[in-house]
Structure 1
Amino acid sequence: MLSRRSLLTGLLAAAVAAPLASVAPGEAEAQQWGPNPNRRPPPPRRERVPPPRRGYVWVPGHWQWRRGRYVWMSGGWVPARPGYRYRRPDWVWRGGRWVYAPGGWYR
């Protein structure tokens, strides 16, 4: 059986946490800075590309915008898709701001 004190403690904790839960992580920064940055991303880092792997394509690293700053995402191997080429992710200047163009497969 719940005691009155533990019930009140639980209700108080829920009342404090509810407004915090309505804002997703990084959303406050997104509201302040927008979902995309207004400044140019840093130049790509030089990565040591491992020896080729049969049936895989090397996807180079790139910068992503997270929580109000650029974060480097290291490259890696992805399974090849016969008849397709991989376009690396990039940042493009569009509409007066930097926009992330995700990489992907195309014919």
Structure 2
Amino acid sequence: MKMKWLLSAALAAAAVTAPAYSQIGVYIGTPPPPIRYEVRPAIPGPGFVWIDGYWEPFGGRYRWVGGHWERPPYPGAFWTHPHYDHYDRGWVLHEGHWDHEDHGDHHDWGHR
């Protein structure tokens, strides 16, 4: 059930931000440049979280997407930063996303 919900949430997010997600699965032969360190502007208000910038694949190259402040979409949400993995065909971006830390959902409790 949790996977079904996550898939639905991912599809909904992709529909809203189609240009950003249209790059999923694009292989680039060279690794992304080093992360840029940005000076964070003042926090706009309570409850905001800083989302670090990252290198986005664009036309067979990389372009920088600057960091920004954002409010978590629901209580307990945390941001999972995008990252790259290297495969035989090149580098692939795994998009950043909001996730939920559920400490009460431990299927392995009681098992040794």
TM-score range (shorter-chain normalised) is 0.5 to 0.7
Could you give the per-residue CA deviations for residues 38-59 of structure 1, whole angstroms, max 9, x where no partner exists?
1110000010022333121110
Tell me if the contact between 2:30 and 2:91 (Cα under 8 Å) persists in the aligned partners: yes
Aligned position for 1:84: 77
Query: Max radius of gyration: which structure?
Result: 1
SS in 2 for 1:65: strand
Aligned counterpart for 1:48 among listed residues 19, 39, 48 = 39
TM-score by length of 1: 0.61
2:69 counterpart of 1:70: no
Aligned position for 2:98: 105
What is the number of residues matched between the two proteins? 75
SS in 2 for 1:85: strand
Is there any run of 5+ residues in structure 2 with no aligned partner, and where? 1-22, 101-112
Q: Which has the higher contact order (CA 8 A, sep 6+)?
A: 2
CA RMSD for the aligned pairs? 2.1
Bigger mean CA offset, 55-64 vs 94-103: 94-103
Question: Which whole-Å CA distance do the structure 2 matches of 1:41 and 1:82 have between them?
Answer: 33
Q: Please identify which structure carries the higher helix content.
A: 1
Is there any run of 5+ residues in structure 1 with no aligned partner, and where? 1-29
Offset of residue 95 of structure 1: 4.5
Q: 1:84 to 1:95 in 2, by over 3 A?
A: farther
Question: Which whole-Å CA distance do the structure 1 matches of 2:76 and 2:98 have between them?
Answer: 10
Query: Percent of aligned pairs with the same residue?
Result: 33
Tell me if the contact between 2:27 and 2:89 (Cα under 8 Å) persists in the aligned partners: no
